[in-house]
């Protein structure tokens, strides 16, 4: 099974550097274009279905890609919702640092362990629902970044809006093949 993880297109909060997390913020025009660009990046490869987080920025990105590729828009998975930034949602990093100098402990912030656990559970659920299919999953930067980091056993810096990262289900588990469209070095 092959899965391509695509980060949703840009929102106004992304552009302003605001933490949006589980807040349901829509795409902006740049984000819609990034979704159309992802359609082009996917040309030359075959896919069976596209699924997403239920948040509107991910769902709209998925719909644009589904329409552009002639794919079925499958279900949404609550497990794919972005990290909950608690009281930090809607704030910039500078505002968070000012209010809570220890960024790891501000009120309501979901732990990275929880994010990774949800990300892997979501992949396992998608795998169970679409076994042996090629699936596009549209979700969010933090959940993609830290789930890929866990699967690859190494850290990744940033997941770009509209970028495609690919993983493959092997008998031994998930193997990360590309991150932000770039092949992973040292992958067989």
Of 17, 187, 186, give the one whose Cα is nearest residue 96. Answer: 17
Of 40, 46, 60, 82, which one is the catalytic site residue? 82
Predicted confidence (pLDDT) per residue in 77-95, tens digit: 999 999 999 999 999 999 9
> Mean pLDDT of all residues in the chain?
95
Domain 2-183 belongs in CATH node 3.40.50.1240: yes
> Does the annotation place 28 within a ligand binding site?
no
pTM: 0.95
Q: What tokens does 70 get?
A: 């002639």
Examine the residue annotation and report whether 168 is marked as an active-site residue of this protein. no
Q: How confident is the model at residue 34 (pLDDT cuts 50, 70, 90)?
A: very high
Predicted confidence (pLDDT) per residue in 106-133, tens digit: 899 999 999 999 999 999 999 999 998 9
State the Cα–Cα distance between residues 49 and 65, nearest whole angstrom: 10
pLDDT at 25 over 80: yes
> Does the annotation place 84 within a ligand binding site?
yes
State the Cα–Cα distance between residues 182 and 180, nearest whole angstrom: 6
State the Cα–Cα distance between residues 65 and 43, nearest whole angstrom: 11
Domain ranges for the chain, please list them. Answer: 2-183
> Does the annotation place 8 within a ligand binding site?
yes
Of 159, 186, 184, 110, give the one whose Cα is nearest residue 8. Answer: 159
Of 10, 27, 55, 57, give the one whose Cα is nearest residue 162. Answer: 10
Of 8, 89, 140, 150, which one is the catalytic site residue? 8
> Does the annotation place 133 within a ligand binding site?
no
> Does the annotation place 43 within a ligand binding site?
no
Predicted confidence (pLDDT) per residue in 132-148, tens digit: 899 999 999 999 999 99
To 10 degrees, the CA torsion angle through 56, 116, 17, 161? -60
The H-or-E segment that residue 121 falls in is helix 112-129
Percent of the chain with pLDDT over 70: 97
């Amino acid at each position: 099974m092959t899965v391509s993880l695509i980060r949703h297109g840009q929102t106004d909060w992304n552009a302003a550097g605001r933490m949006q997390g589980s807040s349901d913020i829509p795409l902006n025009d740049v984000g819609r274009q990034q979704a159309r660009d992802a359609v082009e990046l996917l040309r030359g490869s075959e896919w069976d279905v596209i699924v997403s987080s239920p948040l509107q920025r991910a769902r709209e990105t998925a719909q644009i890609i589904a329409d552009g590729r002639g794919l079925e828009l499958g279900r949404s998975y609550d497990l794919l919702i972005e990290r909950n930034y608690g009281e930090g949602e809607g704030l910039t990093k500078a505002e968070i640092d000012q209010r809570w100098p220890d960024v790891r402990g501000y009120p309501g912030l979901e732990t990275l362990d929880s994010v990774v656990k949800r990300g892997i559970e979501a992949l396992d659920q998608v795998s169970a629902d679409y076994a042996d299919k090629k699936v596009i999953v549209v979700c969010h930067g933090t959940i993609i970044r830290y789930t890929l980091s866990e699967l690859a056993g190494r850290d990744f810096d940033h997941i770009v809006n509209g970028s495609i990262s690919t993983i493959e289900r092997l008998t031994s588990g998930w193997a990360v093949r590309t991150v932000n469209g770039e092949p992973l070095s040292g992958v067989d």
